[in-house]
């Protein structure tokens, strides 16, 4: 077991243990707020170009993902009331701690994409798939307000493909080339800090 996997297991296990009561509360709120399962499962591309099931708390109305694979704006009409708050503080991502614990993902690594977007990767970009995907990374920090950015575009999916995705790939390569435990914990710390700042901003408004 390498050092990264050791910390992945340690952090995800402790987090799931401590957050379990909180996760149950979120589960109940989602169930009461709208119809459908509280956990949303979506196929993403993981290590070695293999698909896996990524888990999230459901933040949209049932079958909303069939309309578009991208979230357009923070107030996308498909997002439920509870879903808005979960997305605001990234709480919808918490079930991915289970993905980390079972080995599908790491705490830090390139965010796993949908197969439809990976199909456009060049051979050199496919090398990113030789690194285990993560819950957070440099791109997650850089594009924290991605939904808002997409809402400002006439052709959101085209903008994502031509502008955002290439930048994400560049940031992913940067992380992989400088992959160290120091950067691993730095990204985790900055992710937590960004969530806290978002909460402070929300409260002040």
Which pLDDT tens digit goes with each residue over 74-100? 667 889 999 999 998 889 999 999 999
* Residue 45 within a domain: yes
pLDDT value of residue 200: 46
* Residue 205 within a domain: no
* Residue 72 within a domain: yes
Task: Give me the number of domains the chain comprises.
Answer: 1
* Residue 176 within a domain: yes
Give me the residues paired with residue 54 across strands.
42
Domain that holds residue 124: 3-199
Give exposure, 169-188, as e/b (b: 16+ Cβ within 10 Å).
bebbbebeeeeeeeebeebb
Q: What is the mean pLDDT of residues 55-62?
A: 94
* Residue 204 within a domain: no
pLDDT value of residue 69: 66
* Residue 120 within a domain: yes
Prediction pTM value: 0.90
pLDDT value of residue 63: 77
* Residue 160 within a domain: yes
Q: Could you tell me which residue, 69 or 130, shows the higher pLDDT?
A: 130
* Residue 97 within a domain: yes
In Å, how far from its chain's centre is CA 54? 9
């Amino acid at each position: 077991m390498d050092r990264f996997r050791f910390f992945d297991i340690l952090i995800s296990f402790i987090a799931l243990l401590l957050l379990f009561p909180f996760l149950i509360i979120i589960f109940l709120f989602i169930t009461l707020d709208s119809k459908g399962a509280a956990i949303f499962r979506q196929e993403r591309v993981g290590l070695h170009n293999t698909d896996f099931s990524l888990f999230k708390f459901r933040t949209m109305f049932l079958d909303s993902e069939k309309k578009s694979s991208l979230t357009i704006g923070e107030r996308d009409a498909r997002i439920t009331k509870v879903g808005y708050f979960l997305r605001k503080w990234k709480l919808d991502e918490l079930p991915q701690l289970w993905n980390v614990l079972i080995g599908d993902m790491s705490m830090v690594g390139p965010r796993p994409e949908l197969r439809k977007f990976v199909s456009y990767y060049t051979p050199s970009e496919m090398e990113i798939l030789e690194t285990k995907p993560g819950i957070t990374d440099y791109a997650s920090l850089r594009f924290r307000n991605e939904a808002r950015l997409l809402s400002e575009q006439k052709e959101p999916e085209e903008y994502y493909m031509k502008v955002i995705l290439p930048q994400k790939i560049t940031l992913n390569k940067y992380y992989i080339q400088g992959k160290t435990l120091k950067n691993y914990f730095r990204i985790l710390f900055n992710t937590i800090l960004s969530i806290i700042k978002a909460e402070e901003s929300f409260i002040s408004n």
